[in-house]
Amino acid sequence: MNYSPKFETKNTNKIDFETGQILNFYKPVGKSSFYIVKVVRAVTGVKKVGHAGTLDPFAEGVLLVCTGKATKQMSQLMDLRKEYVGVIRLGEIRDTDDITGQIISTHDVPELLPDRVRMVAKSFIGESEQIPPMYSARRVNGQRLYKLARKGVVVERKPRSIHIDEFDVLKIDLPFITIRVVCSKGTYIRVIARDFGNLLGCGAYLHSLSRTKIGEYSVNDALRIENFKQWIESN
């Protein structure tokens, strides 16, 4: 992947990370969002570094990282529309609603006509209320929900308004269904996967997920963290 990051500079010899940069990174599967932030902080020497929207370790794709004064723009970046491509696995229900969880139950997957699958997908389009899952980084009373969930504690969560702009079925290869979703901030794709399976009567979980776009920032233009380190070291 060839990508030449465009940086603001005070002069032609030094990148000004302190004044602020918005960096489009590809976060790989198995790494946390904070890992990318930590590496950027270590390599640039700038203490003020943050990301505009968490990606779970099992997910991959676009992660926007801001440095210096650009961190003031993080809330605006979080408001941008997101595009995801995910794979739903029908017939299994997991406690986390994704591939990292324990299987709670299994169900037979019925023969599904493509038209029915696409009709279910269309039912998600528009505004709706979504309750954040227990296995999420959201805080309730100052505590991360996933930490409570690991202790077996379930707390009440207030529903949040979300908006699905587009919901396409890209591939049906039962028990797997590949989807593309364009949505507002605060949308949990694994909750959509769970609800998708419930509507089809067999349960489901999110098998894999890639965030392909945030606004105009595309995964096709994203910078790999290992290339970033090499680029900084060479300069």
Classify strands 60-67 and 204-214 as parallel, antiparallel or unpaired: parallel
Angle between helices 225-234 and 33-44 (to 10 degrees): 0
Which one, of 46, 84, 107, lies nearest residue 170 by Cα? 84
Beta bridge partners, 173, equal 176
- Tokens 């587009």 belong to 166
Number of neighbours of residue 83 by Cβ within 10 angstroms: 20
DSSP SS3 for 121: helix
Task: Classify residue 209 by burial, with Cβ atoms within 10 Å: 0-12, 13-18, 19+.
Answer: buried
For the question of residue 115 being annotated catalytic, the response is no
DSSP SS3 for 105: strand
CA-CA distance, 24 to 3, in Å (whole number)? 10
Beta strands in the chain (DSSP E): 9-11, 14-15, 21-27, 49-51, 60-67, 82-90, 92-94, 103-106, 126-130, 139-140, 143-144, 160-173, 176-183, 204-214, 217-218, 223-224
Catalytic residue among 56, 98, 108, 168: 56
Active site residues: 56
